[in-house]
Each structure stands twice: as C-alpha cells, then as structure tokens.
Amino acid sequence: VPAPITASGLSAALAEWTEALGSAHVSVDPGALRDAATATFPTASTISAILSPGTREEVQRSVIIANRHRIPLSPISTGKNWGYGSSAPVLDGVLLDLGRLDRIVDFSEELAYVTIEPGVTQRQLYDFLQAQRSDLWMDATGASPDCSVIGNTLERGFGHTPMGDHAGSACGLQVVLPDGACIETGFCRFPKSKVGAVARNGLGPSFDGLFFQSNLGIVTRMSIWLMPAPEYFQAFFLQTEGTIGPLVDALRPLRLNGTIRNVMHIGNDFKVLSGSGEYPWKESRGHTPLDRPTMDKLRAEIGFGRWNASGAIYGTRVQVREARSLLRRALGGIARLQFVDDGRIDFIRLIEPSYRFVTRRQDLRRALKLLPPLIQLLKGVPTDCFLASAYWRKKGGIPDDKNPDRDRCGLLWCSPVAPNTGKAVEELTALASDRLVEHGFEPLISVSLLTERATVSTVAITYDRDVPGEDQRAVRCYRALVEELLRGGYPPYRLSIGSMEYADTGGPYGNMMQSIKRTLDPNGILSPGHYLPSDR
Ligand SMILES: Cc1cc2nc3c(=O)[nH]c(=O)nc-3n(C[C@H](O)[C@H](O)[C@H](O)COP(=O)(O)OP(=O)(O)OC[C@H]3O[C@@H](n4cnc5c(N)ncnc54)[C@H](O)[C@@H]3O)c2cc1C
C-alpha cells in the first residue's frame, strides 16, 4: 500500500524525471492530465504527470525515481483500453506512457514470430508485414488500428483469427520490475538462448503469467506468434431466429475437432445493429432503450438474424471444401449458412439498389457496411469500423476522428467466461440481457468461441455520458451484472478499473498474491489496485 503522494515528494521526483527523460517527455499540462484520466465511464483517479520514456533504460530510471519518492506509476502501452478504463489508472499517481517504445525488434518469416515493444500498434505491425511482403498474418482486435499489441495482450484481449487468443500466442517477456531491475522470461533468460521467441515455458517455474493483468512489472518487450497465410480462405456467416444454445452446441464439435480454428464471434441482433451504425432514433421515436418490437421490425428490414455468427475456414482448397461440407451438415436446420468472399460482396453491392426496390423491405446497406471489415478482421487486418459502436447512443453523428473518451461516449464492457455449451451460454446471455434491459440499456451481447472449451461473452453497456444520470445507472448495472454472473459461476475474464475488487477472492490464493506483491514491490508504487487489491 503506497503512502499518499506529497507535494514535496512529487516535485522532487518531477525534477529527477525531467533530468532523466528530458523536459519534452515529462508533462504536467493540466489539459493532457485531465484527458488521460478520462474514460468512457466515471473515474475517480487523478494523474499528476505523464512520463514518456523512449528506451527500456529510461523506464528503469523512471521506476527507480518513483520508488525513491514513493510515487505510484501506472504503465500504458497506447492507453486505448476503452470500455475498461482507457488510460486512467485505478488509483492516483503518475502515468508511464510507453508509446515511444515502438520498435519492432526482431522478425522471423521462417518461424512466424515478431518481437516488439509496447508502443507498437496494430496498424504498425500490419504495415510492417506488408512492407516485408510477408506471407504471415497477425491477429487484430475490433478496437482500432491505433491500439497496441502488447497492452491488449497483457489484458488477455482477443481477436478473430486462429491466433485470436493473444495471451496464448505470446512469449519471451522482457520486464522491468518495480525496483528497476530487468528480467527476461522463458528461455530468454539464458544469455545465448536461440529459443526465447519460439518456446514458451522455459526451464523451471514459468513466470509469464505473473505479468498479465497484474501490477508486478512493466513489460518492455514481447514476442508474438503469427500465422502463415493459408492457401485458401473462406469466410462464412450464420443467422438464426432461434436461441443461441443449439448454435453453440452445433459449433462446439467443429471447434474441438479443428474444423473451426478461429475465434468465432456470435452477436445478437442489438449488437449487430450497434456495429453497423447509429441508434435508430427515427424508428424508436427518440426513445431509449430500443424495445424488442422495434428491434424485430428493424431486423426483418435489414436482413439479419436474432443471433448472427462470423467465422472462417483456413487451409488448402481441399481442406476448405471438406470443412464447408462439414459445416453444412452440422448446421443444417439450425442456422442459415452463407459462404462469402469478396466477389460475392461486389455482387451484392451491385444488385443492392434494385433488390431494395423490388423487395421494398430489405435494406442491405447496413450489412454491406459490416461485411468487408468483418472479413478483414477474420484475416487479421485491423479496422476502425467497429469503433462506431461506441457512439451508438450519441446524437449528432460519428466523427471521422473517433475518440470515445473525448466525445463522452459511455461504454462499460462486462466480459464473463462460460463453458462452450449451449446450456451455459444460453443461461449467461439470458441473465445478461435481463439485467441490461432492467437498467434501461439494450442487451448488446456477443459470444466468442475463444478456445475449444471456453467462450467469452462481451456485454456492452453503451450510453451517452452527456445524459444526466446515465453514468451512475451504467455503473449500477455493471456491478449488478458482474455480481449475478459471479453467483452463477461465470467470472469475468477482464475487469474495468472501477471494479478491481472482483479479482480478489481472498483466502490462501489472495494471501499468496499479496506476498508476491509485497516482495516485488514493497513500496506499492506500481499500478496500485490493478487486479491486486490495495486499500490506499
Ligand atoms: C468498439 C470497440 C471494440 C473493441 N474490440 C476489442 C476486441 O476485439 N478485443 C479486445 O481485446 N478488446 C477490444 N476492445 C477493448 C480495448 O479498446 C482494446 O483491448 C485495446 O487494445 C486496449 O487498449 P491498448 O491496446 O491501448 O492497451 P493499454 O490501454 O495501453 O493497456 C491496457 C492495460 O494493460 C496494462 N499495460 C499496458 N501496457 C503495459 C506494459 N507494457 N506493461 C505492464 N502493463 C501494461 C495497463 O494496466 C493498461 O491499463 C474494444 C473497444 C472498443 C471501444
């Protein structure tokens, strides 16, 4: 538990940081501090300064100074942790912005990996692979091309391709500890090791996990595994008017036997609508939340299902052909299955106006907006198309330069884990839906088949922070939801900065975590409260 920040301690530390990093890289500009402490929901912490080191050695120096003066320091990679806290720390302190550490340190086409620093963004990695004319694909999240790879991976974020479980494709961490020492994990700690980026476990106890969702170190380098571009790629989409359970039960065997290798996403109608544009103010006559009858009407007009899934098959032409027939067989009678490629999208685009004219009902324009970026994500190509969903309840359009924090978009993600069974997913989604509707929000829910055996649902509480009372209502809803899900046996895979206490289960596990924290960070200066409780 760090001592409270004193004015004299802070000013002495600022003088030393300025000397170590240069005045251009130590900011106390009130506007910048306020922006950095602003998230997509109310936050309580204040930021006293922002440090922007340019090298690992400068990170080490910054930490040693923070320790000397007992000033809490919270690292961010790009600070776009939207819906979970953006760049705001859990408790008051100084922000350590690692955005200037943006080097791609190593790359192997042969072994399909890249070693990067925390400031490397999804866009930068994608552009790098393109410039190398690489035959490798990265994975991308639906957040923004300007989000980091490492910050997301440390939060155990996920994307859409077979490499979508980010923490599962990362190894060889370089970590600055709270006392300023630097360690390397896995086999990287052996001075002449040639296998640090390709073999995860190392020799003896493995420490990688200590630095994910924690406050035990600052990761300054990490290796990320990539996938070879498949000989053939085939996207597919599913729609059902039924419940989600049978769909999950039909997909699970295909996920378990490797027919489906990627992180498939299944979204309900509200989720799809929110991803494809603004809130339907006209159709709902200005009312929120969007009610079920209006949603049903819109769904029929736009042409998507009550539940909608996107996935892809990656392999040789023969494998893809075989997988297509396995999918047809498994999903017949359960969901409408469509295989889509770029040619088909061009065709739909061509016929869309006359189709709309003839049917006088179905408007495919929203689907056409969503399909190309969804296919991009299935190929690991970053897009900012889905950032529009953060503006769902904002009136006045979506700006080109999207910034949900600045634009006072309200967003809180609640992300529970469930077994990959129809029964569990149906129970979880029904519970989440009831809680959201009860609190006046649309049930914006997607379910991702993260691994063969486990799903993660992302439940979005989306609102307009400029509407009085909505912030408080959203927080109440979030807490009620997390607590009920915990009671039901569905813990969250990730937490927002205002709710870190849910990570503390106490007992021997809690005691062990506390003693590790006390050993590594006796002054409690690193990201206090972040996934490990602190009562300052
Ligand atoms: C519309 C929308 C879609 C989204 N889609 C996805 C999605 O598909 N998948 C997904 O996972 N998320 C998604 N997000 C959530 C979020 O925006 C992303 O996860 C984003 O990548 C996190 O921000 P960042 O990369 O800037 O990480 P940061 O904000 O930099 O880091 C997150 C946290 O990790 C810790 N951390 C960061 N760097 C370090 C370091 N070097 N050492 C130690 N600790 C560190 C810090 O505690 C930090 O607060 C979405 C958000 C929105 C609004």
Q: Which helix (H) or strand (E) holds 422?
A: helix 422-438
In the predicted structure, residue 354 carries a pLDDT above the cut 50: yes
Structure tokens given for 187: 């086999």
Ligand 1 touching residue 141 (CB < 6 A): yes
Residue 16's pLDDT band (boundaries 50, 70, 90)? very high
Q: Residue 114's closest CA among 158, 153, 156?
A: 153
Q: Quote the percentage of the chain above a pLDDT of 70.
A: 94
Ligand 1 touching residue 527 (CB < 6 A): yes
The confidence score (pLDDT) of residue 5 equals 87
Specify the pairing of strand 227-228 against strand 182-184.
unpaired
Cα 118 from Cα 78, distance rounded (Å): 8
Structure tokens given for 264: 């498939």
Kindly state the average pLDDT of the residues 346-362.
63
Ligand 1 touching residue 188 (CB < 6 A): no
Ligand 1 touching residue 147 (CB < 6 A): yes
Question: Residues 431, 484: contact at Cβ < 8 Å?
Answer: yes
Output 170 or 342, whichever has higher pLDDT: 170
Taking the centre of ligand 1 as the mean of its atom positions, its distance from the CA of residue 148, in whole angstroms, is 7
In the predicted structure, residue 452 carries a pLDDT above the cut 50: yes
Kindly state the average pLDDT of the residues 343-368.
65
Ligand 1 touching residue 63 (CB < 6 A): no
Range from 86-95, 175-184, 215-224, 296-305 carrying the lowest mean pLDDT: 296-305
Ligand 1 touching residue 95 (CB < 6 A): no
The confidence score (pLDDT) of residue 296 equals 96
Taking the centre of ligand 1 as the mean of its atom positions, its distance from the CA of residue 319, in whole angstroms, is 35
Ligand 1 touching residue 78 (CB < 6 A): yes
Question: Residues 183, 211: contact at Cβ < 8 Å?
Answer: no
DSSP structure string for 67-88? HHHT--EEEESS---TTTTTT-
- The 10s digit of each residue's pLDDT in 164-176 is 999 999 999 999 9
Taking the centre of ligand 1 as the mean of its atom positions, its distance from the CA of residue 299, in whole angstroms, is 31
Q: What residue owns the CA closest to ligand 1's atom 31? A: 151
- The 10s digit of each residue's pLDDT in 474-484 is 999 999 999 99
Residue 363's pLDDT band (boundaries 50, 70, 90)? low
Kindly state the average pLDDT of the residues 247-261.
98
Kindly state the average pLDDT of the residues 7-16.
96
Closest atom of ligand 1 to CA, residue 86? 29
Ligand 1 touching residue 389 (CB < 6 A): yes
Residue among 50, 52, 152, 403 whose CB has most ligand 1 atoms within 8 A, to mutate: 152
The confidence score (pLDDT) of residue 536 equals 40
Residue among 43, 59, 80 whose CB has most ligand 1 atoms within 8 A, to mutate: 80
Kindly state the average pLDDT of the residues 399-412.
96
Kindly state the average pLDDT of the residues 273-280.
87
Ligand 1 touching residue 121 (CB < 6 A): no
Cα 503 from Cα 492, distance rounded (Å): 9
Whole-number average pLDDT of the chain: 94
Residue 362's pLDDT band (boundaries 50, 70, 90)? low
Q: Quote the percentage of the chain above a pLDDT of 90.
A: 90
The confidence score (pLDDT) of residue 341 equals 76
Ligand 1 touching residue 500 (CB < 6 A): no
Give Cα 534 to chain centroid, integer Å. 25
- The 10s digit of each residue's pLDDT in 110-139 is 999 999 999 999 999 999 999 999 999 999
Ligand 1 touching residue 386 (CB < 6 A): yes
Contacts by residues 501-504 (CB-CB < 8 Å, ≥ 24 positions apart): 501/533, 503/213, 503/531, 503/532, 503/533, 504/532, 504/533
Ligand 1 touching residue 161 (CB < 6 A): no
In the predicted structure, residue 278 carries a pLDDT above the cut 90: no
Confidence (pTM): 0.96
Ligand 1 touching residue 162 (CB < 6 A): no
Ligand 1 touching residue 521 (CB < 6 A): no
- Is 161 strand, coil or helix? coil
- Give the HSE-up count for residue 426: Cα atoms under 13 Å, Cβ half-sphere: 11
- The 10s digit of each residue's pLDDT in 99-112 is 999 999 999 999 99
In the predicted structure, residue 511 carries a pLDDT above the cut 50: yes
Taking the centre of ligand 1 as the mean of its atom positions, its distance from the CA of residue 80, in whole angstroms, is 6
Taking the centre of ligand 1 as the mean of its atom positions, its distance from the CA of residue 74, in whole angstroms, is 14
In the predicted structure, residue 319 carries a pLDDT above the cut 60: yes
Output 364 or 126, whichever has higher pLDDT: 126
Kindly state the average pLDDT of the residues 1-5.
73
The confidence score (pLDDT) of residue 302 equals 86
